[in-house]
């Protein structure tokens, strides 16, 4: 009888873990979908040139100290996009892709910038 109870508990635990896995994946998919909608529906904000330049300087300094910080490349890419320098923006997103090749966020930024090779 004790062996049967242990098997039943193990089976129940396995079922609970499977359910948690499914919930985790579902939440991840939902968050990704919401991020895509947010990026696609985001209207360009008008930021003063001085503010953009200050932000660019900030993220460049961050990258000097943390050259593998993926999101710094993405933030910098969007700032260059706002300035109209799409070549620099695309280059930064491609660098972020080298750092994190499977990132959904990098893929979405690439889509926003019209990079089709992702």
The pLDDT tens digits of the residues spanning 39-51 come to 555 555 554 667 8
Cα 42 to Cα 57: distance, rounded to the nearest angstrom: 24
For all residues of the chain together, what is the average pLDDT? 82
pTM here? 0.59
Torsion of CA 66, 78, 103, 38, to 10 degrees: 130
Residue 28 has pLDDT above 90, yes or no: no
pLDDT digits (tens, 9 = 90+) for 107-117: 999 998 998 76
CA distances from 4 to 11, 14, 15, 29, 45 (A): 10, 15, 16, 38, 64
B/e letters for 70-93, b = 16+ CB within 10 Å, e = fewer, are bbbbbbbbbbbbbeeeeebbbbbb
Ranges assigned E (strand) in 1-118: none
Class for domain 46-118, per CATH? mainly alpha
Instruction: Return the higher-pLDDT residue of 6 and 10.
Output: 10
């Amino acid at each position: 009888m004790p062996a049967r109870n242990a098997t039943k508990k193990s089976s129940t635990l396995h079922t609970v873990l499977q359910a948690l896995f499914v919930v985790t994946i579902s939440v991840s998919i939902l968050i990704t979908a919401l991020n895509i909608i947010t990026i696609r529906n985001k209207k360009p904000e008008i930021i003063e040139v001085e503010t953009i330049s200050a932000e660019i300087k900030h993220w460049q300094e961050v990258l000097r100290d943390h050259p593998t910080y993926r999101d710094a490349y993405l933030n910098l890419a969007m700032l260059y996009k706002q300035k109209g320098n799409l070549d620099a923006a695309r280059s930064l997103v491609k660098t972020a892709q080298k750092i994190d090749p499977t990132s959904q966020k990098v893929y979405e930024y690439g889509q926003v910038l019209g990079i089709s090779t992702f």
